[in-house]
Amino acid sequence: MRLDALIERWRQHPRVQQLFTDVSQGTRWVDLCPEARAPLVAASFLDQPRPILILTQNHDRVLQWQARLGLCGIPTNLIRPMPSGLSVLFEDAAPESVALSDRLGALRALALGQPGVVVATVSAALERTLPGDVLTAELAEIRVGSTVDPVELVPQLKRVGYEPGDPVRIPGQFARRGGIIDIFPMGAQRPVRMELFGDEVESLRYFDPMSQRSTEPLDVLTILPSRETLLPADAEGIRTLVEASLYREMAQLDAEQSRQLEQLVEDDLKAMENRQFFDRLDLYRPLLHSESGCAVDLLGDDGWLILDEPIELEIMAQRNEEELAQALLHRAERGEIMQAHANDFLVGVEHLGNLPASIAMAQINDLPHWFPAGPEASLEAKSLRGYHGQPQALTGAIKQWVEEGLQVFVATDQPNRTQKVLSQVEIFAGAFDPEAETEPGTFWVEGNLAGGFIMPSLGSALVSDQELFGVSRLRLPQRKFSEGVPVATVLDLKPGDFVVHIQFGIGIYRGLVTRQIDGHDREFLFIEYKPPDKLFLPADQLDRIQKYLAPGDGAPKINRLSGGEWRKTVGKAREDAREMARELIRLYAERNRAHRPSYGNDTAEQAEMEHTFPWVETPSQLQAIEEVKMDMQTDYPMDRLVCGDVGFGKTEVAIRAAFKSVTAERQVAVLCPTTILSEQHYRNFKERLEPFGVRVDYLNRFRTAAERKEVLESLKTGDVQVLVGTHSLLGSEMKFKDLGLLVVDEEQKFGVKHKENLKQMRVNVDVLSMSATPIPRTLSMALMSIRPMSLINDPPPGRLPIRSYVRAYSDEVVREALLRELARGGQAYYVVHRVQGIEMIAERIRNLVPTARIGIGHGQMTERELEPVMLDFIRGDIDILISTTIVENGLDISNANTIIVENAQNFGLSQLYQLRGRVGRSDRQAYAYMLYKGSASLTENAMARLEALQEFAHLGSGYSLAFRDLQIRGAGDLLGAKQSGQMMTVGFELYAQLIESEVNFLKTVADGEAPPALDDPLRGLEPLPTVDLPAQINIPENYIEDQAQRLYAYQRMMGARSRASLDEIANELADRYGRMPPSVENALRVMRLRLVAQHLGIEKVDGHQGRIRVDFYDRTVIPPRVLSLVQRQHASSYMSDRAYVWPFTGAALDAAEDCLLAFDRAWAEVEEDRASLASSSS
């Protein structure tokens, strides 16, 4: 039986029905433990669907409510979070579009009286908002078959705050491409693509915001205003009101602040008069919407307001009001905003006592003075927390409850293990029939809550995994998954970038140009070489160039188009590449000679353990898990690198691999570069694996000598199955009974000696390395398939890019950033470069934010000093953690979403990236401030690091940053000075290709044989064959207007390596941009011909002067019968040296297709005859 069926059973109970009937103003449900609240609310909603608004303390509680209500049977599309919308009050920044969309969608649902559950923090619910009649007004409702004037729709969207953006990825954006309009409506979960035929709406369909591909159709598109503050109809009247106060306030400021305020306000007023939305618009909400109330006012007579622990809500609301008042005061004193009061934007918490139907849920009877006296129900729902992780005490209690006449429901995600535990003490649970069962007993329930409870008044007890095993995981609510952005392409080109043409060398890209060739428009990449040389590369040959990347900051040498200079340069680089390839082949050949027994296929227990993962796996995460398992099921030791951005789920890959190793009775070592990271991994591995009987332990500097000795003994006997630790795990005293798997996190952070130890271990055990910013050598080895690599490039569902700011330090920036985070119930990190002076910095922060609870953590503290601080921060008892880089790895706190790094110029790029990754680990907007002390102290490289961090703010950018790091710091320590020098001459990508080519070539050389001399430096690097035809082959500007998007479309085409891929690209273009013009279809046809030509060993196809000329590579052997079969179809054709020539009439592209397909069919026929002959002779 599912959990929702049990909820339905409780719903029908007379005691519960009476409970719902008695709800009125000031209802109190007391003696109600938190674990029982969601089931009761779900039962009430299923009994009579109505609008329900639940107020709780912070964002984490919001997520927990969402998850529990969903498990209890309320459809997830009817459970809406409602975030805060007032971030602009703390800093002039654009509203967070995703949060604003969620908020507007929830407010509209409340205003319309739609049945559903809205969950919000108390602060978010008390923020003043638009009146209900304004929230329910629609900008437009568009149906399939209706008429829409696209010329009018675009300015209409702009007038209500929608912004142009192509591709459309976030709420509030739109794009028009001819007869196709993409729009991401506010309040919606997915964007919509509208296709017009003239003015008629031909189709409406959702599309994936990342892949941009259409998914399923819809009938009606509702477009809401994009902001919670609307532009005034009477901008002149607003100007009069504002200016009346402005000059009085200016008189209280110094001259500079006065000028600043006057300019800011004037810009704001002009924007209003011009009907333009702007970032600071919400500051004027009290003036523009003076009759505004808050979310609770939108509840109709049939709606319920539920207060989760009202006393806590009161404390949180008052604290947030104080912090907002402080922020508004400081900003007004600095001349950034006009004077305002917190109650201009927030309704007082006592307002919550004025609603027709309000329910206080509490474990105690002590309620705020403003909450009205109403009916009280004591539910006697008691938590089972005392039994957490104590199965023996619990099983005794279960027997006693059954004897007392209760029905005990065991809700679990681990049925096999649970059945085993209960059967050992002779408790045998049966299937529950909700229609028939009334007798006492123990029954199975499919599903799990975060904790169990007992309700004698309902004759029931619910037992969860939390009581049975000490751990229970809720699958927290997440947005629909969107495919991640692919690995940042090397061809992210901007005019002025250096590029490498495989045949001509290094030049400067100057942009896309259109030229007319043979009467047809063609698009070219203009590349400037050493004067006076210029190259116009056809856009359909984009695969012949790479963006130049190399160590250091110096500009590369620009080549000439003629002469042998470039081939000599590549030849020298290739000699060095061969040396490196020899070393790599030796290392991995040594590894491949090692054998070990396979770990075997997954067990049922493995599936159960994986099911306890609280998140939805992303596609690339699942792919990485599968690749690791496949490696472990071979007879050779694994050596795989898993590269994924911070917080993208690499640890889960390692946990599943570790469990697979343990079930095969082999031990696991998890090696971490820092003590804090080892502590975090220990907690994660222990929490996930110990419920399945796996003993997890750890070794780091916090363990005493006695504890260390005990762990080492248990390691020898095999009692410790998973050991987490720092570099001490590489010591000679480590004696494993049977080490099977070594997990290495952030391998690049270990020193040379440790890496040598790792290299020796690699030959004998399976190694799984994890990194968010892999060092370039590791990256290049992975790219070249010398070392297998799995790339997790999908952000977890709902994850938002971190907003990164690089600024000079000021107290004001720090204060407002911290106040904004605390006002939404969040936490913050404040990171400093060294321990010295950290107490003084903490005192400074206390003075800036007096209401904050502050903790200090650094590497010189003892375990006894550090652990309580970290635990308090994890629990939310500390608001701001001031620390050194010990937090760089390891802390995973979803409620901490602001990080400030002081003196950021003193940190490395990889460090800054890891530090930034401490925030943004939930679906809330996160902020990272990289502050430096005055530009005079910044070196060029330091500024480059900070700018790179801001540039790569998108999700999944760790891979891109590894390339950028290669540019900023030299690579001599990674590749050796000689190799780094050669990389400078040809660029990183080509150098990596040379190594890969040499590895592949040397693998074909028999042991003991000397490889042949390097004859052709470009051997093995040939691009796809050239197909040069007099035809219209381009993507017109009127089809894809944006040059960057057009370049990307060319790149997608040129990157395809199969007909199926080209078909997919064609469908994608038609879906996104509309019907393809003939010139785009021609470009796809040419690309298909290039693939066929490559398959046939053709170097070039030319179609000028009324003839098709097909040049074959010297290495291509053309069977005479192939030539005979083709020439039968083409009159007047002939061979000229290595070229096939055919005079034709008609279109060149048609003739080229005819010619190459004739060769393809002939070759296939000859191969088929050979195979048939070989078969008959055998």
What SS3 string covers 812-835? HHHHHHHHHHHHCCCEEEEECCCC
Task: State mean pLDDT over 29-52.
Answer: 93
In sequence order, the 6+-apart residues with CB closer than 8 A to the CB of 724 are 670, 672, 678, 681, 682, 685, 696, 697, 698, 699
Q: pLDDT over 70 for what percent of the chain? A: 90
Higher pLDDT, 460 or 645: 460
Query: Which pLDDT value is given to residue 871?
Result: 82
Average pLDDT, the chain: 86
Distance CA 102, CA 122 (A): 16
Q: How far apart are the first and last CA of the chain?
A: 62
Q: Is the peptide bond before 167 cis (omega within 30 degrees of 0)?
A: yes
Q: Is the peptide bond before 532 cis (omega within 30 degrees of 0)?
A: yes
pLDDT digits (tens, 9 = 90+) for 667-722: 999 999 888 888 889 989 998 898 888 999 999 888 889 999 999 999 999 999 99
pLDDT digits (tens, 9 = 90+) for 161-188: 899 988 898 899 999 998 999 999 999 9
- String of DSSP letters for 321-358: HHHHHHHHHHHHHTTSS----GGGTB--GGGGGG-SSE
Helix axes 958-968, 940-951, angle to 10 degrees: 160
Asked if residue 776 has pLDDT above 70, the reply is no
Architecture of domain 803-954: 3-Layer(aba) Sandwich (3.40)
Instruction: State the CB neighbour count (10 A cutoff) for residue 638.
Output: 24
Q: Which of 194-203, 229-238, 493-502 has the highest mean pLDDT?
A: 194-203
Asked if residue 482 has pLDDT above 50, the reply is no
Distances in Å between the Cα of 721 and the Cα atoms of 708, 745, 1065 are 15, 18, 49
Band (pLDDT 50/70/90 cuts) for residue 571 is very high
- String of DSSP letters for 447-469: S--SS-EEEGGGTEEEE-HHHHH
Asked if residue 369 has pLDDT above 60, the reply is yes
The CATH homologous superfamily for domain 1026-1177 is Transcription-repair-coupling factor, D7 domain (3.90.1150.50)
Task: State mean pLDDT over 9-30.
Answer: 88
The ranges assigned to domains in the chain are 3-133+292-377, 138-223, 235-276, 384-469, 589-792, 803-954, 1026-1177
Distances in Å between the Cα of 446 and the Cα atoms of 194, 412, 465, 887 are 42, 6, 12, 39
What is the DSSP pairing of strand 376-383 with strand 453-455?
antiparallel
Distance CA 883, CA 670 (A): 25
Query: Which pLDDT value is given to residue 379?
Result: 82
Architecture of domain 384-469: 3-Layer(aba) Sandwich (3.40)
**Which option is the CATH number for 138-223: 3.40.640.10, 3.40.50.720, 3.30.465.10, 3.30.2060.10?**
3.30.2060.10
- Beta carbons of 595 and 1008 less than 8 angstroms apart: no
Task: State mean pLDDT over 1003-1015.
Answer: 74
Distance CA 130, CA 291 (A): 8
Higher pLDDT, 244 or 1007: 244
Task: State mean pLDDT over 561-586.
Answer: 87
Distance CA 190, CA 171 (A): 8
| Domain covering 3-133+292-377, topology | Rossmann fold (3.40.50)
Asked if residue 246 has pLDDT above 80, the reply is yes
Structure tokens belonging to residue 726: 């720092």
Band (pLDDT 50/70/90 cuts) for residue 1178 is low
Q: Which of 135-144, 348-357, 384-393, 1121-1130 has the highest mean pLDDT?
A: 1121-1130
Task: State mean pLDDT over 297-323.
Answer: 91
Band (pLDDT 50/70/90 cuts) for residue 93 is confident
Query: Which pLDDT value is given to residue 977?
Result: 45
Query: Which pLDDT value is given to residue 491?
Result: 45
* Dihedral sign computed on CA atoms, order 158, 484, 79, 93: negative
Asked if residue 437 has pLDDT above 80, the reply is no
Query: Which pLDDT value is given to residue 779?
Result: 47
Asked if residue 969 has pLDDT above 80, the reply is no
* Dihedral sign computed on CA atoms, order 66, 67, 72, 73: positive
Band (pLDDT 50/70/90 cuts) for residue 488 is very low
Query: Which pLDDT value is given to residue 956?
Result: 52
Higher pLDDT, 555 or 813: 813
Q: What one-letter code names the amino acid at 1020?
A: G
Query: Which pLDDT value is given to residue 636?
Result: 87
**Which option is the CATH number for 589-792: 3.40.50.1820, 3.30.1490.20, 3.40.50.300, 3.50.40.10?**
3.40.50.300
Distance CA 1168, CA 1121 (A): 13
Band (pLDDT 50/70/90 cuts) for residue 428 is confident
Long-range contacts of 184-188 (CB under 8 A, 24+ apart): 184/101, 184/209, 185/221, 185/222, 185/223, 185/224, 186/100, 186/101, 186/104, 186/105, 186/224, 186/225, 186/226, 187/101, 187/102, 187/104, 187/105, 187/108, 187/224, 188/101, 188/105
pLDDT digits (tens, 9 = 90+) for 830-869: 999 999 999 999 999 999 999 899 999 998 988 788 888 9
Query: Environment class of residue 1060 by beta-carbon count within 10 Å: exposed (0-12), middle (13-18) or buried (19+)?
Result: exposed
Higher pLDDT, 240 or 645: 240
pLDDT digits (tens, 9 = 90+) for 727-747: 888 888 889 999 999 999 987
Domains 3-133+292-377 and 138-223 share a fold: no
Task: Please report how many Cα atoms fall inside a 13 Å half-sphere around the Cα of residue 736, on the Cβ side.
Answer: 21
Query: Which pLDDT value is given to residue 628?
Result: 97
In sequence order, the 6+-apart residues with CB closer than 8 A to the CB of 646 are 772, 913, 914, 916, 917, 918, 958
- String of DSSP letters for 158-179: HHTT-EE-SS--STTEEEEETT
* Dihedral sign computed on CA atoms, order 757, 762, 767, 769: positive
φ/ψ of 984, rounded to 5, equals: -60, -35
Query: Which pLDDT value is given to residue 78?
Result: 96
